[in-house]
């Protein structure tokens, strides 16, 4: 993941000169390069988001697997208690 951050940082830094040329000197060719770089940035961000989500989900799945085995026993014990806790209807 640190490698992805380095690539992201390098891309942003590589666009700095074109941003200055476009906004300060009104260089339209630099604007085209900025737009292209921003599209690359968007795609890279999406890839990183997916990677983070997959890593997060795989860590959650590993942690949830042992708990899932214990969960059905708890649910069976909780069901009768839930029926007793319901308030009685008034006549």
The tens-digit pLDDT sequence of the chain (91 residues) is: 579 999 999 999 999 999 999 999 999 999 999 999 999 999 999 999 999 999 999 988 887 766 556 555 555 555 555 556 566 666 6
Does residue 52 contact residue 8 with C-beta atoms inside 8 Å?
no
Is residue 88, in this structure, part of any structural domain at all? no
Is 18 a domain residue? yes
- 28 occurs within a structural domain: yes
Residue 68 lies in a domain: no
Domain count, the chain: 1
Domain membership of residue 86 (yes or no) is no
Residue 75, C-beta contacts closer than 8 angstroms, at least 6 positions apart: none
Instruction: Answer whether residue 53 is part of any domain.
Output: yes
Closest CA to 46 of 38, 36, 58: 38
Residue 52 located in a structural domain: yes
For 31, the domain range is: 4-59
Instruction: Please write the tens of the pLDDT for every residue from 50-71.
Output: 999 999 999 888 877 665 565 5
Residue 70 domain-assigned (yes or no):
no
């Amino acid at each position: 993941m640190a490698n992805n951050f380095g690539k992201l940082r390098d891309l942003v830094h590589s666009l700095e000169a074109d941003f200055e040329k476009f906004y300060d000197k009104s260089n339209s060719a630099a604007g085209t390069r900025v737009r292209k770089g921003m599209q690359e940035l968007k795609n890279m961000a999406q890839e990183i988001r997916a990677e983070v989500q997959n890593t997060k989900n795989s860590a959650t799945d590993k942690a949830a697997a042992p708990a899932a085995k214990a969960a059905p026993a708890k649910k069976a014990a909780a069901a009768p208690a839930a029926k007793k806790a319901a308030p009685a209807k008034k006549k």
